[in-house]
């Protein structure tokens, strides 16, 4: 296989938009244009005044409507992304002991945060090989930590409340960072559905958003009343009080909030979560079918039920260097399709979030076919 030859993919094969990264991911041009038109009344204005607070309210109401949440759920938000939320959860959602399903880099990070928290008991960690997923086991824990889509491996799991838990009020917290907005879920099975908005919400990073059931809110209040010391920036009770006033505890990125709202309203306007998830289904099905029938490619996730509809991982034949393919793609404006670095496989990883056009996904496979023919 030639490794150092740059290849020009013909224009007619190339996607219109070459952003296929799993996060930061494609931000729609319409949203960016719209941000520039509102900017005088919004960007660079106080986050404690109505223009920004109304935008936060639109985000909260838009999320509730997209997920068809019961009226007693609340939308909390704060700075720091899902990574910060893990630390906040160790302080403000886990009473004493959690159980974590670990099947990739991100689920592992939350389990480590919980493991290292000196005020918590040692968590239960149930892991599985990359490319597969473990199942929760009913236990005496007070929080089950699930990840709807492991962005590092492209494995997604059904969200089900574990039955037979010996703790009456155990809650289910779901890291939905790459899944939220691109996958269906049932609020009956979950208490806290949290995510960062730079994936299916086609926004920028820096924010965490958490849809919380009354049981999750009770847990936040209970821990806050217990007198546990909590750093203010990680305090979910402070986040709750501020979210009820349509604001964050400290200054947020106003553009991130705006772009998130734009994407939520776009998805709601097109038909809601069913519509958005069907776009991701269409794109991911195309990629899996392509890889299944390809001489040099194969879906990384064997179990078809676990294959993610929003982040598709594809192993390449050893005669094809993924690094070379990825870098020639980059030269041609096809960006960020490399596998997650710590997975360490000869792999490509393609986001199929709702903002990414299914036609561009088809153009991507045409472009890769062209490259493979030229390289091999």
Write out the H or E segment, with its range, that includes residue 287.
helix 272-292
* 30-44 burial code (b ≥16 CB/10 A, e <16): ebeebbeeeeeebee
At its nearest, how many Å lie between ligand PLP and the CB of residue 55? Answer: 20
User: How far is residue 158 from each of residues 189, 210, 290, 295, measured CA to CA in Å?
Assistant: 10, 19, 24, 31
Q: Per CB under 6 A, does 313 bind ligand PLP?
A: no
| Nearest of 12, 24, 376 to residue 199 by alpha carbon | 24
At its nearest, how many Å lie between ligand PLP and the CB of residue 126? Answer: 17
Kindly tell me which of 152 and 332 has the beta carbon lying closer to ligand PLP: 152
Kindly tell me which of 73 and 103 has the beta carbon lying closer to ligand PLP: 103
At its nearest, how many Å lie between ligand PLP and the CB of residue 119? Answer: 22
Contact 179, 23 (CB under 8 A): no
Angle made by CA atoms 128, 134, 139, in degrees to the nearest 5: 120
CB atoms under 10 Å from CB of 197, counted, come to: 30
Kindly tell me which of 283 and 365 has the beta carbon lying closer to ligand PLP: 283
Q: Which of residues 140-159 bind ligand PLP (CB under 6 A)?
A: 147, 151
**In this chain, which of 153, 177, 213, 247 binds ligand PLP, going by CB under 6 A?**
177
At its nearest, how many Å lie between ligand PLP and the CB of residue 41? Answer: 28
At its nearest, how many Å lie between ligand PLP and the CB of residue 106? Answer: 4
| Integer Cα distance of 46 and 26 in angstroms | 28
Residue facing ligand PLP at closest CB distance: 81
Q: Which of residues 56-95 bind ligand PLP (CB under 6 A)?
A: 81-83
Site string for ligand PLP, 262-301 (x = CB under 6 A): ----------------------------------------
Name the 3-class secondary structure at 228. coil
Contact 288, 298 (CB under 8 A): no
Structure tokens at 43: 């960007």
Structure tokens at 132: 């597969």
In sequence order, the 6+-apart residues with CB closer than 8 A to the CB of 88 are 78, 80, 208, 234, 235, 236, 239
Kindly tell me which of 178 and 247 has the beta carbon lying closer to ligand PLP: 178
**In this chain, which of 98, 108, 178, 365 binds ligand PLP, going by CB under 6 A?**
178
User: Tokens 């838009």 sit at which residue?
Assistant: 62
The span of 45-53, 173-181, 183-191, 276-284 binding ligand PLP (CB under 6 A) equals 173-181
**In this chain, which of 24, 158, 187, 205 binds ligand PLP, going by CB under 6 A?**
205
Contact 15, 334 (CB under 8 A): yes
**In this chain, which of 90, 114, 165, 196 binds ligand PLP, going by CB under 6 A?**
196
| Integer Cα distance of 53 and 46 in angstroms | 9
Q: Binding residues for ligand PLP, how many (CB under 6 A)?
A: 12
Contact 364, 14 (CB under 8 A): no
Site string for ligand PLP, 18-47 (x = CB under 6 A): -----x------------------------
CB atoms under 10 Å from CB of 54, counted, come to: 13
Kindly tell me which of 138 and 205 has the beta carbon lying closer to ligand PLP: 205
At its nearest, how many Å lie between ligand PLP and the CB of residue 158? Answer: 16
Contact 166, 139 (CB under 8 A): yes
Kindly tell me which of 9 and 75 has the beta carbon lying closer to ligand PLP: 75
User: Tokens 């909590």 sit at which residue?
Assistant: 230
Site residues (vs ligand PLP, CB under 6 A): 23, 81-83, 106, 147, 151, 175, 177-178, 196, 205
């Amino acid at each position: 296989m030639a490794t150092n030859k740059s290849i020009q993919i013909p224009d007619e094969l190339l996607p219109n938009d070459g952003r296929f990264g799993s996060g930061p991911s494609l931000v729609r041009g319409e949203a960016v244009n719209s941000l520039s038109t509102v900017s005088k009344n919004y960007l660079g204005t106080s986050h404690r005044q109505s223009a920004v607070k109304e935008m936060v309210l639109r985000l909260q109401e838009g999320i509730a409507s997209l997920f068809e949440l019961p009226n007693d759920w609340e939308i909390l938000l704060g700075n720091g992304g899902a990574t910060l939320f893990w630390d906040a959860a160790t302080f403000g959602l886990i009473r004493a002991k959690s159980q974590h399903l670990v099947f990739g880099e991100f689920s592992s990070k939350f389990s480590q945060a919980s493991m290292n928290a000196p005020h918590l008991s040692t968590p239960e960690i149930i892991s599985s090989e990359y490319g597969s997923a473990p199942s929760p086991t009913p236990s005496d824990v007070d929080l089950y930590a699930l990840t709807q889509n492991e962005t590092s491996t492209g494995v997604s799991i059904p969200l089900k409340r574990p039955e037979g838990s010996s703790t009456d009020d155990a809650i289910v917290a779901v890291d939905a960072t790459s899944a939220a907005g691109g996958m269906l879920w049932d609020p009956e099975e979950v208490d806290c559905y949290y995510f960062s908005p730079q994936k299916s919400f086609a926004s920028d990073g820096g924010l965490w958003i958490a849809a919380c059931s009354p049981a999750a809110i009770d847990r936040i209040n209970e821990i806050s009343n217990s007198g546990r010391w909590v750093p203010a920036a990680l305090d979910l009770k402070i986040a709750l009080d501020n979210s009820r006033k349509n604001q964050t505890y400290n200054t947020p990125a106003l553009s991130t909030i705006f772009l998130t709202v734009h994407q939520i309203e776009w998805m709601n306007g097109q038909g809601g979560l069913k519509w958005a998830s069907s776009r991701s289904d269409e794109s991911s099905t195309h990629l899996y079918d392509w890889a299944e029938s390809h001489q040099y490619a194969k879906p990384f996730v064997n179990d078809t039920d676990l294959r993610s509809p929003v982040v598709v991982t594809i192993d390449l034949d050893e005669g094809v260097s993924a690094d070379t393919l990825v870098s020639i793609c980059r030269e041609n404006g096809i960006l960020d399709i490399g596998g997650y670095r710590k997975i360490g496989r000869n792999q490509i990883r393609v986001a199929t979030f709702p903002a990414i056009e299914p036609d561009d996904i088809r153009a991507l496979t045409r472009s890769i076919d062209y490259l493979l023919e030229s390289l091999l």
